[in-house]
Amino acid sequence: MTDIKPIQFDGEEQSNEVRANILQQEPFAIRTFTPSQCVISHSAGSYHYTPEGRKLADFTSGVLVANLGHNPVSWWNRVIDYLGLEAIKEGGEYAKCVPLTAYNAITEVESLANQRIIANLQAAPGGSRINQVMWSASGSEAVQKALWAAMKRKPGKDMIIATRDGFHGKKGLAGAVTGSEHDKERDDRVRFISFPKAECDDVETRKQALDLAPYQQELDQLWEEHGDRLCCIITEPYLGGGGSYHPQKEYLQLLQSFCREHDLVFILDEIQSNFGRTGPMYAFSHYEIEPDIVLLGKGLGNGVPVSAAVGRKDIFECLGYGEASDTWSANPLSSAAVLATLDEFESTDALAKGAHLAGIIETGLVRLKETGAISKVRGEGCVWGIECADLGDREGATVANQIIEKCYLGENDSLAIHLLGALAGKVLRISPPLTMCPNECQSYLDRLYEVCQQVATG
């Protein structure tokens, strides 16, 4: 049994007590490691607050969820309206509003959410193939359902192509198409292809032309060996969990062309990248592709758990009654959150704010390479990865942890930053809400520069 000791910080008595209690109450396996183990009392806009009252800029958006910021009042008011919760003010033992779960039943708010999300997707460049929604509660469930549908489309065609080093989840088929063939015992129906990591490992290398020949050759070889069984390709617009690798658009276009040529289902996992994270509303518009199925999640509900596979009706109808059902899919609370999020994006300048913020973030992060603590920077829109350098006898992973801790502690309790644990060992994700104040973002980027300097010289 691993002996894990609670993380403790001077002057954080309440937080320290909570950290110690959590370690006793829960298995540490449910929590991703980060050197800060930040305890959050409440959140507002682009900031978290600890029980001790310390303010931290959230450079994670709650793991790419709060694209609009935490708890926007206008968004909450919309959620409440869609739930019909005005009746709660009338008093009585029970509030008159939609149920919070409606398993094997239908609510009008679900129907409206379907209508709105389909219309929004179809209006986006590249969304013309989408005409149905298959709801779920988590990202891995959306992946699972999309793969089930693709595998049932044609009898005997049950083999999946996935891009190596991607992340689609930990459960079932979602776990089977995550990582690579070398990670663990694999589902024999999954085959992996290369992703152009070396060709997009920094903002500068990504500007270079991509030689598609070796990737075409891999695909052709798979078709020659398994063409009678191949049913789909699943990939991400960028490798998120794999270290924030954002490919040249020609790579994704090649995968789409291969699918069109051989009548395979092209599945794009946008769970981390939808709702403005990479720039436009959906990453497929940015990459100029038209997937058959798009997987949505995280920012889709701005904090309320919800996900969906959206795509072609003829593919989804390959599944029979109940084959994609579960307790929480299309529940009214999630539907209301999706509608409120769509309202905010369609009636405000959130995307324009994100586009403006993107330039500030890129400039601030590229500057970090001057410190020596950061070796590579890659990303787009409001989602970036900074790769930590090896410094003497300190490996990049150690440098990453030191940066996280120093950012969390701030400078004299000011300009503190909340970061997640490193991706792929030594890559720190920088992904503030799209709505963060540009001047405040710049101040925190300057603080991050100071931290990197301190770590580099320490």
Write out the chain in H/E/C secondary structure: CCCCCCCCCCCCHHHHHHHHHHHHHCCHHHCCCCCCCCCCCEEEECEEECCCCCEEEECCHHHHCCCCCECCHHHHHHHHHHHCHHHHHHCCCCCCCCCCCCCCCCCHHHHHHHHHHHHHHHHCCCCCCCCEEEEECCHHHHHHHHHHHHHHCCCCCCEEEEECCECCCCCHHHHHCCECCCCCCCCCCEEEECCCCHHHCCCCHHHCCCCCHHHHHHHHHHHHHHCCCEEEEEECCCECCCCCECCCHHHHHHHHHHHHHHCCEEEEECCCCCCCCCCCCCHHHHCCCCCCEEEECHHHCCCCCCEEEEECHHHHCCCCCCCCCCCCCCCHHHHHHHHHHHHHHHHCCHHHHHHHHHHHHHHHHHHHHHHCCEEEEEEECCEEEEEECCECCECHHHHHHHHHHHHHHCECCECEEECCCCECCCEEEECCCCCCCHHHHHHHHHHHHHHHHHHHHC
Q: Which two tokens stand for residue 267?
A: 């599945």
Residue owning tokens 């920012």: 299
> Where does 108-347 sit in CATH, by number?
3.40.640.10
What is the distance between the alpha carbons of residues 172 and 155, in angstroms, rounded to a whole number?
21
Return d(Cα 98, Cα 113) in angstroms, integer: 14
Lowest model confidence (mean pLDDT) among 170-184, 271-285, 306-320, 373-387: 170-184
Lookup: tokens for 23: 């370690």
- Gap between the Cα atoms of 283 and 274, Å rounded: 6
1 pLDDT more than 60: no
193 with 218: CB under 8 angstroms? yes
Mean of the pLDDT values across residues 375-384?
A: 98
CA distance 378 to 196: 13
State residue 5's pLDDT score: 85
Tell me the domain boundaries of the chain.
Answer: 13-71+350-457, 108-347
pLDDT in tens, 332-345: 999 999 999 999 99
422 pLDDT above the threshold of 90? yes
The pTM (predicted TM-score) of the whole model is 0.96
* Residue listed under structure tokens 């891995």: 140
Q: What is the pLDDT of residues 14-71, one digit of tens each?
A: 999 999 999 999 998 998 899 999 999 999 999 999 999 999 999 999 999 999 999 9
416 touches 56 (CB < 8 A)? yes
Among 89-98, 282-291, 300-309, the least confident range: 89-98
* Beta-bridge partner residues of 228: none
Q: What is the pLDDT of residue 87?
A: 55
Measured distance CA(287)–CA(283) in Å, rounded: 6
pLDDT for position 219:
98
Backbone dihedral angles phi then psi of residue 383, each to the nearest 5 degrees: -140, 115
pLDDT at 91: 64
Q: What is the pLDDT of residues 386-398, one digit of tens each?
A: 999 999 999 999 9
d(CA 435, CA 417): 16
- The residue to which tokens 């958006």 are assigned: 61
Band (4; pLDDT cuts 50, 70, 90)? confident
Q: Class assignment of domain 13-71+350-457?
A: alpha beta
